[in-house]
Structure 1
Amino acid sequence: MEHNSKATAATIGSLMALSAGAIWSFGAVTARLADGSDAFQYLIWRSVGIIVVVESMALIQRRPHRVVEAFTSGRRMIAANLMLLLASIGFVYAVKTTTAANAAFLGSTTPLFGVVVARLFLDERLNRRTGFAIGLAFAGLAIMVAGDLEVGDLMGDVAALAAAVGFACYTAIVRSAPGRDWAPVLPGYAVIMIGICGAVTLANGRPLAPPALDVTLALVHGGLFIVGGTLLYNSASRSVPAAAMTVFAQTEMVLVPIWAFLVLAERPATSTLIGGSLILVAVVGKALLDAREQRVVTGLPPVAPAA
């Protein structure tokens, strides 16, 4: 009975991680439609949307302010804030300073870093199925960018790798205490993001408030897509190993070109379709195989939250 319960939890967790990536992918559409603002202006209002929604949820649930919890709940929570901040800013900087292909390819190395981080800090074993899924996903990503890979700015490449490391570390931190409520991380990193992006925007001589449409799109992106996807991703960490979670979240990379085609009329290249298909086979196939064999891969027991 307990075995079936764990298997069911693993299946639900896998679907949550897959859904998180899918929800995050919608943000690419809102960001592209907001063409009257730069990345830093957009990130300011995306962060505002995150804070408003999370704090509203806390008010309805009669819970303490999440922003306060984000900075008063111990070192591990603060580390999670910083890692998610690194992932967000790193990828934005990469997109601005290197080619999109470089940023996507280097940023999508998250599963590889996820395996390394999970092995080093969580002692999670990498089974053959997860290893095969990661390999197949990387093959798909390589095909997607092979026809468009160009030499970009070195700092941009480093930033993209930093983003991958940041998200992998964030996943490992969340996975280290799966029973903990990690929702405060969202407004926590959003507050820091507003401060950094606001300073950059003012330094560049641009207004903090872009056109109203761009503000609306950014608020929807943050309040709906970021909050919804991240809450699902955090919930998945209770039953899915960190390495597998980072693979599942790559559905975001697959779906972005699809939404771009359907909403923005951008026709994806043949290599994108082939590579995206391989990634879908990897992430969905692993989820189905996990459900079929009714087993869960776990690491060490959760570590107690830091004081």
Structure 2
Amino acid sequence: MKPSLKPSRLGGLPVAIVGVLLLSPDSLVIRLVSADRFMVLFWRGLMMAVGFAVVAGLSRGPRPAGPILRCDRPALIAGLLLGAANVAFVISITSTDVANTFVIAATSPLIAAFLSRLFLREVVVRRTIVASVLCVAGLALIFLDSVSTANLRGDVVALAYAVLVAGSVTAMRIADQRDIPKAFSLGSACSAVVALPFIVPWDVAVRDVGLLTLTGAVLLPAAFMAVARATEVLPAPVVALVLLLETLTAPLLVWLWLSEQPTDTVLLAGVYLLAVLVGHSVASKGDTDHPEIAGHPPAESRLAHRPRGPQPD
């Protein structure tokens, strides 16, 4: 009998944790590079396009991946929304504190639940409505803290990022999963094209390109594959709880490396929102067929909300 390559449920947990660890340095890298945000967006989008194109090729096995535009419509929509989310993520990370971005973006799964109700006619359970109302209070606290600071624009863009990620997740629920890596590659390429008119001048340090290549072409696609693998054997709420770690690990890395300390208000709101999302996820243990209501955090993105990994033809 041929041994199964599918990870066991016990082995799925460390795989999911590896996915989170691969995602965590992303925002730190954006802060470390010396290039402006549009140069960052171009190279990040370009490298993500290359990385996901490789994933698309690997997921097809020996068969050719086919034309990049040959995707079903939901997958194409998911990819384009991911590209738009990539733009919003870079703008937010460079316009506000990293902790603000991740705490606000952590609400994207609850937004996805309501988008699924609107577009897919799926039922939004009562606990999701309650959790959403509670999250609004936490978000209001963050925005009130930023009203008189330069962080307000970045916080608003972070909320837009959360909505875009939620839209991408909603489209992915009905997409052909084999087309998702190709669609993500296309969306990432589009985000690079969007940055082109704003890049002046065209000089960029080799170190910056190297860092953005590492995250865009290696870490993010690898995280995508790791979390997709974990979701094959772990219940969605369990994966959701693991992925919430990025809301802590990403700002922590920036805090330790760049001494960017969140305000007391953001820390308080972050603890409050995480408590709401963890409680919602624990209460959703039976909702394994609906990962969008199980409390998944963002992550470009984001990538971890897929109910299944790419399947071969």
TM value normalised by structure 2 = 0.69
8 Å Cα contact 1:102-1:152 kept in structure 2: no
Structure 1 residue 26 and structure 2 residue 25: aligned?
yes
Counterpart code for 2:64: P
Once the two structures are superposed, residues 201-244 of structure 1 have per-residue CA deviations (whole angstroms, 9 ceiling, x without a partner) of: 1xxx311x511111111112212342234445666888978x99
Deviates more, 1:101-110 or 1:225-234: 101-110
* CA deviation after TM superposition for structure 1 residue 182, in Å: 1.3
Matched residue, 1:44: 42
User: Is the 2:75–2:179 contact (alpha carbons within 8 Å) kept by the matching residues of 1?
Assistant: no
Residue of structure 2 in register with 1:196 after alignment? 194
Displacement of 1:124: 2.3
For 1:226-305, what aligned pairs fall within 5 Å after superposition?
226-231=220-225, 251-291=245-285, 295-296=286-287, 298=289
Shift of 1:198: 2.5
Deviations 1:99-150 (A, max 9, x none): 5598778766634532321101222222233334444444444444543333
Instruction: Name the CA distance, whole Å, in 2 between partners of 1:274 and 1:168.
Output: 24
1:206 aligns with 2:205: no
Percent identity between the two aligned chains: 25
Partners of 2:185 and 2:48 lie apart in 1 by 6
Question: Residue 166 of structure 1: CA displacement?
Answer: 2.0
Going from structure 1 to structure 2, the CA distance change for 1:25 and 1:93 (only over 3 Å counts) comes to: same
For 2:5, the equivalent position in structure 1 comes to none
Q: Which whole-Å deviations, capped at 9, do the CAs of 1:50-102 have from their partners, x for residues lacking one?
A: 23333444555334247x33x11232222122211222223434566x65598
User: Which residue matches 2:75?
Assistant: 77
The alpha-carbon distance between structure 1 residues 117 and 236, as it changes in their structure 2 partners (threshold 3 A), is: farther
Equivalent-residue separation in structure 1 for 2:20 and 2:289 (angstroms) = 22
Flag the 1:162–1:147 CA change in 2: closer, same or farther, 3 A. Answer: closer
Give the match for residue 183 of structure 1. 181
Aligned with 1:40: secondary structure? helix
Q: Does 1:64 align with 2:59?
A: no
**Matched residue SS, 1:183:** helix
Show the counterpart of 1:86: 84
Deviations 1:238-269 (A, max 9, x none): 8978x999998665444432222222222333
CA pair 39-62 structure 1, distance change in 2 beyond 3 A: farther
Pairwise CA distance, 1:156: 7.2
Aligned residue type for 1:29: L
CA RMSD of superposed structures (Å): 4.1
Partner of residue 299, structure 2 = none
Structure 1, unaligned runs of 5 or more: 1-7, 303-307
Determine helix, strand or coil for the equivalent of 1:210. coil
CA contact (8 A) 1:251 1:280 kept: no
Flag the 1:106–1:267 CA change in 2: closer, same or farther, 3 A.
Answer: closer
Within 5 A, what are the aligned runs for 1:109-120? 110-120=108-118
Could you tell me which amino acid in structure 2 is paired with residue 260 of structure 1? Answer: V
In 2, are the aligned partners of 1:111 and 1:134 still within 8 Å (CA)? no
Structure 2 unaligned regions, length at least 5 = 1-7, 291-306, 308-313
Point out the more displaced range, 37-46 or 106-115: 106-115
Match of 2:295 in 1: none
Q: Could you say what secondary structure the match of 2:25 adopts?
A: helix
